[in-house]
Structure 1
Amino acid sequence: MITLFSLIFSSIGDETPEVDYDLIYSKGKETKAVVTDIDIQYNVTINEVHPTIIRYQYTENGKQVESKQKVLEVRKIEELEIGDEIAIKTLNGNSIIKNMEPYEFPLKLFSIIPVFIIIVGLFLILYSINNIRKDIYLYKFGNISKGRIISIMPKPGLPISNIGQGIVVHYEFETKNGQKIFAESFSTDFSIMGYMKKDDLIPIFISPKNDYDSCLVTKSDSYKNNWNISFD
């Protein structure tokens, strides 16, 4: 996502110099400049108007200086041609076109979007790590039991990548104290839907420390880890 937004920003942004428009307008020295190029950015539209980069050249301290400014001025641009003289103001080596306020794309504002995505991503990673640690603990130290399946629902993943795709199994089980607990467990093993259905008993692991912490056991998990758990 950061790469994608960087490409978008680079195509929208430009290399026009950053200047203090108000300071130059109020304290700058007025002079004349010659328009050397008028570049209309047809690939960008703001309020149905294409931004235009005006390049101009002027003389300062006996030297030719080139600069440019991006504007959103439809009527003034229509009257402007290459070679025309325009009024500008200069201050400390910077310049602006008089009576044409520069337009700057709010890149800093939009740069918050990738930061937000990173924060959300980190939160999801930490959430996933916490769930994985819980499952690993149950795999190592959990007490084997049986849970009655209440529902089996496929869970769609993210578009294109299918990340997060799997099966959510809701089940209930009874503790040693006779208390019935409703729980759910997620698995990426779609074969569960082939050999399990509602009201079937499925093996589960229950935490020895907390009866509310549990997870289901699939056939593939049992075979892969040599648990030899019966599914009959």
Structure 2
Amino acid sequence: MSKRNVSLSVFFKILFGNITNSVLFGFGVVSMAFSFLFIVITSLVVISTNSKNNKDYDDYDVSLILEKGIEVNANVVAIDTIKNIKINERNPLVVVYNYEKDGEWITDRFKTIDHIKTQELFEDGNVPVKYYNGESVIIGLDRYSGIGHIFLFINFGLILWSFLLLYLGGGKPFKTYNLYKTGIVKEAEIDTIVLFPNKGIRVTYHYDLTDGYVAYGNGFSKDYLLLNKESGDKVKIFVDRKKESNSVLVPSYIIIH
């Protein structure tokens, strides 16, 4: 399928011809730029936070340990507070515990944000744990995995919102632009021509489809030579190759050979 050489500036000409589309598209561009800036900032924050607080036990494969690990009781030695991080007014906690394996006592740690369950564990003095391949986790206690996932959801939401704005603002102009590049040139019969001051000329028209039916269309044009035409005269249109009922007027600035 051959395409006409229509510059990208034509797309922006179509876009800025409609104030609603241009505003939505503009907000989408700004929102997308803010999203990428937010990604950079939050990535630096997460990297900085992780470099200060992440330990070896943060990299344990919890699901693998719970699936294949051996369950034993462990003694709670201490509960430490990570003071430089706060989530919903709560600081993450590090539960320090030890358990016996093959006659040797192993000390390990588990990070969590669940203060209530952690306090209960501390009062009981021992906790059920599973260990596997030199790593262990506390059973029944959710592990705190950092703030990275929170920023991930925010970033994902911002990017989706940006794409939505870009689509709402640029979707219809892009379809028109694509018809300018790939549409089939046909002649349509004019039904009405109405002049709207400061906006242009609105033309309604109809044309025959290949299956024998008739399709109707309309569009605005800045080509004031159209005022010399009247109902029943012919006007050139671009018709979608895949869906004949979609069409647009051929603008005066596109030369058809």
Q: Normalization by structure 2: what TM-score?
A: 0.37
Question: Comparing both structures, which one devotes a greater share of its residues to helix?
Answer: 2
Q: Normalization by structure 1: what TM-score?
A: 0.41
Q: Whose RCO is larger (CA < 8 A, sep 6+)?
A: 2
